[in-house]
Amino acid sequence: MRLSELKNAGRSPSLPLSISLADAAGPAELQLLSLLRVLPGQRYVGAGVWRGRPVLAKLLVGSKAARHFQRERNGVHLLADQGLTTPQLLADGLKDGEGGWLLFEFIEGAESLGETWKRVEHLPVLADMQGAVLAEALGAIGQMHRKGLWQEDLHLDNLLRQRGRLYLIDGGGVCSETPGQPLSRQKVLENLGVFFAQLPKSLEPFTEELLVYYLLSNGEHALPMEALQKQINKVRSWRLKDYLIKIGRECTLFSVQRGAFGLRAIRREEAAAMLPVLEQADALLDQGHLYKTGGAASVGKVEVGGRTLVIKRYNIKGFAHWLKRFWRPSRAWHSWREGNRLAFLGIATPKPLALLEKRFLWLRSRAYLITEHLTGPDIIERFAPYVESGAAPEAELLALDHLFAELIGERISHGDFKGHNLFWQDDRWALIDLDSMCQHGSLSSFAPAYARDRARFMRNWPENSALYQVIDQRLPKDISSAA
């Protein structure tokens, strides 16, 4: 295969692939054995064999190939020239009409710090193993900054560890201010803001403690926490907006098709499992356990392939109802967006798996949302034994405090905060039924919405009960300073 043919190979070309390349020693075949990352029609990154040696291949095609090749090559040389540990570039080339390619030494048995983090992120906040991963990352970032470099696309997957040695990868995102001289304080703050914004918000109280690991590698500047937090908040806001755009378009994370006769969005890793579920959603609902049927929505628990799912079908009750609904995003879309919002922010909710809006010439009709199923009890059932005594388990009350603090911190109102929409799952309270959820842009709009949420939540128990009194004392009433 010629390199240029990759442009039309799609997201999942058949492997192995034999691709003709040439370097100073002459033409040779790259045997591409696996793909690690694909940007269809632009970038293919995978493991292969070149001249009998295992390599990591970055193959760049399409109209942007030359620009991406130069950025990648320049970044790799910046890292190497400053003595930073990075995989050796073995061969590279750029050919008009074909594309660009870079072949790196393959680091056998390496694991990204992102993979390491996934194994420890469930541990208590800043447990020793979490601290060790973040300390290693911040030390490497400090070394880059001390040499005048920074990584625009800064995340844990761009740091590879092999037998205690840390490699910096992805030269395409490496930039320089003055190579060999420490970065300016503003650039340091901006880049650290990118890093800390990607960490769970539960780690935010420990930012100053974690910063020590960075300062051990680069103590060039005093870094005021207020300025750093401002950068973190700025990046967090941008990342959320960017993510919410991705949930509605074809990308690495989501498989999306939209047209005159429908909108279908699926988490990409779930595509194979969810396509048949969407195709037979009505039949599955008829066979499943119905929580709610008729009216504006039908909700049921279904078993598919040994997995329990929840299907929510948003019905059109009649012509008058259709006139109100056809012209605006469906409630399924709203729930899909808000479920992904909560998941991105680390607030517990059933994982949204797939969405389908049926349309006729762009006019919306029936819509479907598929999520994971929660096995735990709702808060009404969970707290039923404690209504009179008020002696609910402290851990569960603390989890409730934490949930409300998260919602206040993000200025999120639920819109229907009855107890049956709050489930105890994995030692957390998880929210369901997100049709009316809203993240507010200002305190002035959030404050009354929060007051309504709180009032509706408190109506779950008799006002004269001990449990009501306990919860009422704990939940914030005035959120003007907290939000």
Q: Which domains does the chain have, with CATH numbers?
A: 3-105 (3.30.200.20), 111-237 (1.10.510.10), 254-372 (3.30.200), 379-474 (1.10.510)
Q: What is the pLDDT of residues 448-458, one digit of tens each?
A: 999 999 999 99
Give the DSSP H/E element, type plus range, for residue 282. Answer: helix 281-287
State the burial class of residue 250 (Cβ atoms within 10 Å of its Cβ: 0-12, 13-18, 19+): middle
Give pLDDT, residue 12: 86
How far is 389 from 410, CA to CA, in rounded Å?
33
Q: Tokens at residue 43, please?
A: 């970038």
* Predicted confidence (pLDDT) at residue 482 exceeds the cutoff of 60: no
| Banded pLDDT at 483 (limits 50, 70, 90) | very low
How far is 382 from 423, CA to CA, in rounded Å?
9
Using alpha carbons, select from 32, 97, 101 the residue that is nearest to residue 69: 101
Q: What is the pLDDT of residues 130-147, one digit of tens each?
A: 999 999 999 999 999 999
Q: Tokens at residue 311, please?
A: 């299907």
Give pLDDT, residue 322: 58
Q: What is the pLDDT of residues 328-385, one digit of tens each?
A: 778 899 999 999 999 999 999 999 999 999 987 767 878 999 999 999 999 999 999 9
Contact 400, 316 (CB under 8 A): no
* Predicted confidence (pLDDT) at residue 218 exceeds the cutoff of 60: yes
Residues 6+ apart with CB under 8 A from 245: none
Q: Tokens at residue 458, please?
A: 């408190």
Among 69-73, 112-116, 184-188, 285-289, where is mean pLDDT lowest? 285-289
Using alpha carbons, select from 440, 205, 441, 246 the residue that is nearest to residue 344: 246
* Predicted confidence (pLDDT) at residue 278 exceeds the cutoff of 60: yes
* Predicted confidence (pLDDT) at residue 397 exceeds the cutoff of 90: yes
Give pLDDT, residue 323: 63
Q: What is the pLDDT of residues 60-104, one digit of tens each?
A: 999 999 999 999 999 999 999 999 999 999 999 999 999 999 999
State the burial class of residue 399 (Cβ atoms within 10 Å of its Cβ: 0-12, 13-18, 19+): middle
* Predicted confidence (pLDDT) at residue 327 exceeds the cutoff of 60: no
